C-alpha cells in the first residue's frame, strides 16, 4: 500500500521538476527578448544604429526615471548594456532560445564576430553554463583552435571536420605533478569530460591500454576513442617529451592495426593524435593519411 502512494508521489515530483525546467527555459527566453527589445527601442529613439551614440543623454534621463520606479536593474549601465545587446545581435534568433542573459553579458565585450560566434556555438553544442563559458574564454579556447574558419556562422551546418573545435595547446587538468606518461593517462581518465571538451565534439571513450596485436606481438594503445560525428576511431598516444620522428611511425602502425582489426567497413579511416609535451605545454600532433600536422 505504501509503495503505491510513493509511486504516485514520485510521479508528481518528476512532473513538477520537468515543468520547472520548462518554466525556467520559457522565463529565460522571455527575459532575453525583453532586454533585447528595450535595447532596440533605445536605439530607435536615438535615431537608429548609425546615429545612436553611447553617451546619449537619453539613456541617462531614462535610467534615472526607471531606477526610481523599478530599482537599479534599469540603471545607466544596464540600459547601455541592453542597447549594446541589440546592436551586437540585431537578429536575436536563433541563439536567443539557447543562451541566457548571463551568457550574453560575458559575450558582449567580445568585439570579434567570429570569436563571439564560436563561443555561442560552443554554448549551444555543449550546453555550457555561464561558468563553463567563462572558463572557455579565460583559457583562450578560440585562440587555440587548430582550424579557424574564415567565417563562423551561428549554429553552423552539420558538415564536420575532426579539427573544427580542437584546441592547441591542449589544456590537461592534472591533480598532481606528472612524472610519467602513466600518471598523465590516469589524470586524463579522471577528467575525461574536460579532456573531451579540449578535443572538440563527438568524442566517446572506447578504452585505455587497449590491446591490439600484429600476430607476433601485443601492443597497447594509451587511449582509444571514437568520434561519432566523424565516424572514425581515434587513437591517442601520450608523450611526456617532445615529438620524435619514430612517434609518427609508431602511430601509423597502430592506425593500420585498428583499421584492420577494429574498424568496420562503414567507418572512416582511423585518426591518430599524439599529445607531446613541448616546453611546459601539451601539444596536439594530428596524424591522418600519412600526414602529420604540428
- Per residue in 197-239, pLDDT tens? 888 878 889 999 999 998 888 999 999 999 887 788 999 999 9
Question: Positive or negative CA dihedral for 170, 172, 178, 180?
Answer: negative
Q: How far apart are CA 111 and CA 187, in angstroms?
A: 36
Q: Is the pLDDT of residue 195 over 90?
A: no
Q: Residue length, the chain? A: 294
Phi–psi pair at 215, nearest 5 degrees:
95, -20
Mean pLDDT over the full length of the chain = 81
Higher pLDDT among residues 229 and 118, named by residue? 118
CA angle 103, 124, 34 (to 5 degrees): 45
Is 85:36 a contact under the CB 8 Å cutoff?
yes
- Model confidence at 142, pLDDT cuts 50, 70, 90, reads very high
Q: What are the tens digits of pLDDT across the range 11-22?
A: 667 776 666 655
Q: Which of 288, 204, 214, 274 is nearest to 242 (CA)?
A: 274
CA 265/CA 261 separation, integer angstroms: 11
**Highest mean pLDDT: which range of 90-99, 117-126, 252-261:** 252-261
Q: Bigger pLDDT: 28 or 204?
A: 204
Q: Is the pLDDT of residue 54 over 80?
A: no
Q: Which residue has the cell 590491446?
A: 211
Indicate if the pLDDT at residue 31 is higher than 60: yes
What tens digit of pLDDT does each residue of 168-190 get?
Answer: 787 777 766 778 888 888 888 88
- The C-alpha cell at 131 is 561558468
User: Is the pLDDT reported for residue 48 higher than 90?
Assistant: no
- For helices 130-138 and 113-126, the axis angle rounded to 10 degrees is 140
What's the pLDDT score for residue 291? 43
DSSP-assigned beta bridge partners for residue 185: none
Mean pLDDT of 97-119: 90
First to last CA, the chain: 66
Look at residues 196, 144, 138 and name the one whose alpha carbon lies nearest to residue 169. 144
C-beta separation of 57 from 104 below 8 A: no
With 0-12 / 13-18 / 19 or more C-beta atoms within 10 angstroms meaning exposed / middle / buried, residue 185 is middle
**Highest mean pLDDT: which of 40-49, 153-162, 281-290?**
40-49
- pLDDT exceeds cutoff 70 at 293: no
Nearest to 196 by CA among 273, 114, 143: 273
> Which of 81-85, 114-118, 157-161, 216-220 is least confident?
157-161
Q: Give, for 118, the enclosing helix (H) or strand (E).
A: helix 113-126
Q: What is the pTM of this model?
A: 0.57
Rounded mean pLDDT of 113-140? Answer: 89
User: Is residue 156's pLDDT more than 60?
Assistant: no
Per residue in 234-271, pLDDT tens? 999 999 888 888 898 999 999 999 999 999 888 888 99
- Rounded distance between C-alpha atoms, residue 172 and residue 186, angstroms: 11
Query: In sequence order, what are the residues at sequence separation of 6 or more whose Cβ sits closer than 8 angstroms to the Cβ of residue 137?
Result: 106, 110, 119
Amino acid at each position: 500500500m505504501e509503495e503505491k502512494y510513493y509511486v504516485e508521489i514520485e510521479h508528481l515530483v518528476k512532473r513538477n521538476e520537468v515543468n520547472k525546467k520548462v518554466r525556467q527555459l520559457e522565463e529565460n527566453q522571455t527575459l532575453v527578448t525583453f532586454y533585447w527589445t528595450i535595447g532596440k527601442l533605445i536605439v530607435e529613439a536615438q535615431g537608429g544604429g548609425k546615429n545612436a551614440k553611447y553617451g546619449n543623454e537619453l539613456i541617462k534621463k531614462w535610467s534615472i526615471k526607471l531606477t526610481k520606479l523599478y530599482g537599479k536593474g534599469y540603471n545607466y549601465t544596464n540600459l547601455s548594456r541592453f542597447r549594446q545587446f541589440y546592436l551586437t545581435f540585431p537578429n536575436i534568433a536563433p541563439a536567443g532560445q539557447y543562451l541566457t542573459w548571463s551568457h550574453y553579458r560575458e559575450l558582449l565585450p567580445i568585439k570579434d564576430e567570429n570569436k563571439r560566434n564560436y563561443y555561442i556555438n560552443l554554448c549551444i553544442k555543449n550546453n555550457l553554463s555561464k561558468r563553463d563559458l567563462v572558463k572557455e574564454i579565460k583559457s583562450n579556447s578560440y585562440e587555440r583552435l587548430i582550424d579557424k574558419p574564415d567565417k563562423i556562422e551561428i549554429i553552423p551546418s552539420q558538415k564536420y571536420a575532426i579539427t573544427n573545435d580542437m584546441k592547441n595547446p591542449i589544456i590537461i587538468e592534472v591533480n598532481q605533478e606528472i612524472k610519467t606518461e602513466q600518471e598523465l593517462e590516469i589524470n586524463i581518465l579522471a577528467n575525461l569530460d574536460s579532456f573531451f571538451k579540449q578535443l572538440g565534439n563527438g568524442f566517446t571513450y572506447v578504452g585505455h591500454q587497449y590491446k591490439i596485436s600484429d600476430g607476433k606481438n601485443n601492443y597497447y594503445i594509451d587511449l582509444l576513442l571514437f568520434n561519432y560525428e566523424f565516424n572514425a576511431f581515434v587513437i591517442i598516444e601520450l608523450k611526456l617529451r617532445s615529438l620524435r620522428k619514430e612517434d609518427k611511425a609508431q602511430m601509423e602502425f597502430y592506425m593500420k592495426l585498428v583499421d584492420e582489426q577494429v574498424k568496420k567497413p562503414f567507418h572512416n579511416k582511423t585518426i591518430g593524435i599524439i599529445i607531446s609535451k613541448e616546453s611546459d605545454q601539451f601539444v596536439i600532433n594530428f596524424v591522418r593519411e600519412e600526414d602529420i600536422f604540428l
